[in-house]
Amino acid sequence: MRKLITLSHKEQWIAYVKNSVEYDFYHTWHYHTLDQSGDPVLFVYEEGNNYIALPLLKRKISDSSFSDLGSVYGYTGPISNRKFEDLEESLMDNFKSSFLDFLDKEHNISVFSRLHPFFNQYLLIEKFGGVYKNGKTVAIDLTIPLEQQRKKYRKSTYQYIKKAWHNGYSVKETKDLEDISVFFDIYTENMRRIEAGDYYFFNKQYFIDLISTDEFDCRLILVYAGDKIICGSIITCTCGIIEAHLVATLTKYLHKSPAKFLTDEISILGRKLGMKYYHLGGGLGFKEDTLFNWKAGFSDLFLEYKSWRYVANERIYNSLVDRIGIDPNNKIDYFPLYRCHFVPVNNTVLQY
């Protein structure tokens, strides 16, 4: 049996997530209410006492009668009341059949979902095809002693942390609206400085709603130099995993790298909260760039990050790509390609 749960069915959505053996805050009802890029739905397939659920965003494809399915910012993918490695082949095959029927009847042309690096969701998704290896993410193992963790730090990383101790930096957890406002300004300043895309910008209400939720554990941790806020991070704690959701530093203090001190402090907090891992994430676009290298200065625990890029109707997909002047076989790392805001000209990529 299958069902499609929307945001209007709050209690059902929450129950399926909470009863899953592995999930993250990215799967929750509240987090999906914060996304304005599509209509959130939770696809559920059930057999007896077992289920597989997949949160998605349904998006209309402009100037057509079709739609597609995407995912919220962060790591989602399917969840279940059992680990994927323990699911029967028949249950996974029946989920596939039901989901493909749903795609066809709802005229959904493609599906994009960011899979969670800690969960073996690929065991289910590889039955469809379209599992794409994006790169690596970095995590800190909180199950080992703190001093052992610190031995894994790059020498320069640890030096910045020690300088922060010497300078008397301190951390504070807060839900105060004024503090949230200050962090919002620092984060927005950071995104403008690095010329981030619109995808990485959020309004102030997003920050307030995220931090004030009672559906999952979300905290704003700030770094102070004296009485001045110079750095901060919004973290979540779910099923033994801390996610470094948003991190930002006041431009004037970037050369002191207080975020390194903050990362170390959050790892201490995580142990107190009984967390097992502190997930720092990957590089920009999940490339092994300077951001990835910064995170790799804390840990040698690297995880494979995969996404699901599935074309349900190849004929319609190719026609949608063709109408914006892109060759469907182009190697642009973007999916679905018909939503790409870049077109290749003379082997270069120009924004339009």
CATH number belonging to the domain at 137-304, selected among 3.40.630.30, 3.40.640.10, 3.20.20.150, 3.40.50.300: 3.40.630.30
Per-residue pLDDT tens over the stretch 217-255: 999 999 999 999 999 999 999 999 999 999 999 999 999
pLDDT at 345: 39
| pTM of this prediction exceeds 0.85 | yes
Contact 231, 223 (CB under 8 A): yes
Q: 285: pLDDT confidence band, cut at 50, 70 and 90?
A: low
Confidence of residue 66 (pLDDT cuts 50, 70, 90): very high
Q: Tell me what percent of the residues of the chain surpass a pLDDT of 70.
A: 96
At 173-221, the pLDDT tens digits run 999 999 999 999 999 999 999 888 888 899 999 999 999 999 999 999 9
Q: Can you tell me which residue has the tokens 């002693």?
A: 145
Enumerate the CATH 3.40.630.30 domain ranges in the chain, comma separated: 2-129, 137-304
Ramachandran assignment for 195, one of left (phi > 0), alpha (psi -120 to 50 degrees), beta (any other): left
Four-way CATH pick for 2-129: 3.40.50.2300, 3.40.630.30, 3.40.50.300, 3.40.1190.10? 3.40.630.30
Which residues neighbour 162 within 8 Å (Cβ) at sequence distance 6 or greater?
Answer: none
How would DSSP label each residue in 117-160?
TTS-THHHHTTTS-EEEEEEEEEEETTS-HHHHHHTS-HHHHHH
Q: Looking at residues 73-79, what average pLDDT do you find?
A: 96
| Strand, coil or helix: 336 | coil
Structure tokens at 286: 């999940």
pLDDT band at residue 286 using 50, 70 and 90 as cut-offs: low
Distances (CA, A) of 265 to 130, 235, 341: 39, 12, 40
